[in-house]
């Protein structure tokens, strides 16, 4: 999560996703949403990046989802260190990873601590001079970024993989889809081949810390409409207005 001037942006949405995933993963959250929100707000001073982690608690020595101990909740906050200004100004170079998202995996739609594939993909991207890796799913359709969602613009309309492509339904992705509706920009959610992404006029990534991050190139191929393109810039403005409204 990210706070702006001490206010956590979209806190309710983050906590609802956490509760839904906890329930799916059979973790009994020991606190109510209100209690968690109060705890998060306590550490959310200034512009912070905040991580709320729930573990299964003290390990009993058996490999099982059932434990006799309550889950442990950890909340960490640190000042936001923004991405390089150059990325915001002229876009982030990204590359397509050889690692695939498994759209049939039961955990692919949940934010869990199973981050190794994403971290390997990011390390590979960094070695290639890129700020993020894009992952296809096992059928070859575009899924998401290693730590972000991907959206793109074609002839003034926004496209993004649907959740069944195998991705985390990002809170920022959801907000951007709502903002597109408010701005009367058509949104297509579906299964898209990687080629469609390469032919896009504009590409951008979303997550709570990146917000909307324009993409400059994919595997060295420049995005034709430049970065940030006009539709991305419009959505960045709309996002900023939402942040201001929430403060």
Which residues of the chain form contacts with ligand PLP (CB under 6 A)? 118, 144, 147-149, 168, 170-173, 206-208
Least separation in angstroms between CB 208 and ligand PLP: 4
Closest of 156, 129, 155, 160 to residue 145, by C-alpha = 160
Half-sphere exposure of 150 (CA within 13 A, CB side): 33
| Rounded Cα–Cα distance for residues 20 and 166 (Å) | 17
The sign one gets for the Cα dihedral 117, 122, 128, 133 is positive
Do residues 224 and 218 touch, judged by C-beta distance below 8 A?
Answer: no
Q: Which residue is nearest to ligand PLP (CB)?
A: 170
Least separation in angstroms between CB 80 and ligand PLP: 13
Least separation in angstroms between CB 98 and ligand PLP: 17
Q: Which is nearer to ligand PLP, 124 or 226 (CB)?
A: 124
Q: Which is nearer to ligand PLP, 57 or 191 (CB)?
A: 191
Residue matched to tokens 């700020």: 131
Measured in degrees and rounded to the nearest 5, phi and psi for residue 65 equal: -80, -20
Q: Which is nearer to ligand PLP, 125 or 225 (CB)?
A: 125
Residues whose CB falls within 8 Å of the CB of residue 140, separated by 6 or more in sequence, listed in order: 193, 194
Q: Which is nearer to ligand PLP, 11 or 168 (CB)?
A: 168
Least separation in angstroms between CB 171 and ligand PLP: 4
Least separation in angstroms between CB 8 and ligand PLP: 12
Q: What is the largest CA-CA distance in the chain?
A: 56
Least separation in angstroms between CB 210 and ligand PLP: 8
Q: Which is nearer to ligand PLP, 97 or 148 (CB)?
A: 148
| Rounded Cα–Cα distance for residues 244 and 247 (Å) | 5
Do residues 137 and 166 touch, judged by C-beta distance below 8 A?
Answer: yes
Q: Which is nearer to ligand PLP, 153 or 172 (CB)?
A: 172
Q: Which is nearer to ligand PLP, 95 or 168 (CB)?
A: 168
Least separation in angstroms between CB 70 and ligand PLP: 26
Question: What SS3 string covers 94-123?
Answer: EEECCCCECCCCCCCCCCCCCCHHHHHHHH
């Amino acid at each position: 999560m990210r706070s702006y001037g001490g206010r956590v942006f979209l806190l309710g949405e983050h906590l609802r996703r956490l509760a839904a995933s906890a329930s799916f993963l059979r973790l009994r959250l020991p606190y109510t949403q209100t209690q968690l929100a109060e705890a998060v707000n306590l550490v959310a001073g200034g512009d912070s990046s905040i991580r709320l982690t729930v573990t299964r608690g003290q390990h009993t020595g058996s490999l099982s989802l059932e434990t006799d101990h309550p889950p442990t909740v950890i909340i960490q906050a640190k000042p936001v260190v923004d991405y390089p200004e150059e990325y915001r100004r002229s876009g982030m170079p990204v590359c397509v990873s050889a690692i695939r998202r498994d759209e049939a995996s039961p955990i692919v739609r949940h934010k869990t601590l199973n981050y190794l594939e994403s971290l390997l993909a990011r390390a590979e991207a960094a070695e290639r001079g890129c700020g993020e890796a894009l992952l296809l799913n096992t059928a070859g359709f575009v899924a998401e970024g290693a730590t972000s969602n991907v959206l793109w613009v074609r002839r003034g309309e926004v496209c993004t993989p649907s959740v069944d492509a195998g991705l985390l339904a990002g809170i920022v992705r959801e907000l951007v889809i709502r903002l597109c509706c408010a701005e009367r920009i058509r949104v297509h959610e579906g299964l898209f081949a990687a080629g469609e992404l390469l032919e896009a006029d504009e590409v951008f990534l979303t997550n709570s810390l990146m917000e909307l991050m324009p993409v400059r190139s994919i595997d060295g191929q420049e995005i034709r409409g430049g970065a940030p393109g006009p539709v991305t810039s419009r959505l960045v403005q709309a996002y900023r207005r939402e942040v201001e409204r929430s403060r």
